Amino acid sequence: MRLALLDYGAGNLHSLGKALEGAGAEVVITSDWSKALSLSALILPGVGAFGAAAAALPQDRAPIREALQGGFPCLGICLGMQLFFENSEESEGDGISLVPGSVELLDAPVVPQMGWNDVEIDDDPIFEGVGPLIGYYANSYICVPDKEADTIAWSEYDNRRFAAAVRRENTWGMQFHPEKSSAPGRRIIANFVAAVRGMS
């Protein structure tokens, strides 16, 4: 089982790669989308600007979107989750448009949100055995899905409730960083790896 960790210049590949390897996955770092979609699953890392990451997407997003709609497993973290959406207020450029909705600036006196925040989780296999979850955040923007059913976890910052995680088919997005969220975050990554193994 080989997982593609996309390198689009977004940073934090090392810590995320180590967390995936710790869960038993073989990690292949690549910037080649065709290669990534030929492996067992796709990981879109966080940290970085939406515009730069969107520019690293293929001009034709349809093959990626269709693969994810067809059940190809994917985990998007922070910026990676935001790429699932149509567009972002942060900068020009189109996302993958897997999840209907957009990305908006976090309307709060202090931005970015940096540090720990409670995460209210739904009943989803990605959260199996996680228990109470406090996620580590580093974000100035939040995802706003058009459909409430796409959201599987929530957090609140300065009285604004927002999507902490989304799911479509076998694609999960986390606005927080599970690789930096202690044992519960590592369990989320392990659950994703186990889910991919079960699909192989």
Cβ-contact 10, 48 below 8 angstroms = yes
Cβ-contact 116, 137 below 8 angstroms = yes
Given the residues 74, 90, 143, 179, select the one marked as catalytic. Answer: 179
For 173, list phi and psi in degrees, rounded to 5: -125, 135
Q: Is 143 a catalytic residue?
A: no
Given the residues 74, 90, 143, 177, select the one marked as catalytic. Answer: 177
The separation between the first and the last C-alpha atoms of the chain, rounded to the nearest angstrom, is 8
- Per-residue DSSP letters for 43-66? EE---S-HHHHHHTS-S--HHHHH
Q: Is 128 a catalytic residue?
A: no
Q: Which amino acid is at 151?
A: T
Given the residues 74, 78, 90, 143, select the one marked as catalytic. Answer: 78
Structure tokens at 54: 């969107």
Q: Is 14 a catalytic residue?
A: no
Instruction: Enumerate the active-site residues.
Output: 78, 177, 179
